[in-house]
Amino acid sequence: MAVAGNPEYLSTIWAGQGLMATVSGENMIRMFSIASDENYVLTLAEPAFGGKLIQDKINTIAFNQKSRTLCGGTKNGYIVMWKCK
């Protein structure tokens, strides 16, 4: 697996069964589904953030299995959350 971004901020976690989430100091979280061999991104450019975080970078991530919530901590001190439905 190859990922762009800054290797100093490279962090990968399990975000559900067979689903890996990776950050590397970019404005996105890269998601990799092992089972379906698919990938996608969750980005700070999403309309829900109103364009306020588009220049920010995600440095750290965490996943809560019980609530199925993925959280990212940004360089500018914000916490962003995505809930799996």
Domain range annotation of the chain:
7-83
Cβ 26 vs Cβ 5: under 8 Å:
yes
CATH number listed for the domain at residues 7-83? 3.30.2020
The predicted-structure confidence for 30-81, as pLDDT tens digits, reads as follows 999 998 999 999 999 888 788 889 899 999 999 999 999 999 999 999 999 9
Please tell me the predicted confidence (pLDDT) of residue 1: 58
Instruction: Say how many residues make up the chain.
Output: 85
Measured CA to CA, the distance from residue 31 to residue 40 in angstroms comes to 5
Contact partners, residue 65, CB within 8 Å, separation at least 6: 16
If phi > 0 it is left, if psi is from -120 to 50 it is alpha, else beta; for residue 8 that is alpha
Query: In a 3-state reduction of DSSP, which class is residue 41?
Result: strand
This prediction has a pTM of 0.85
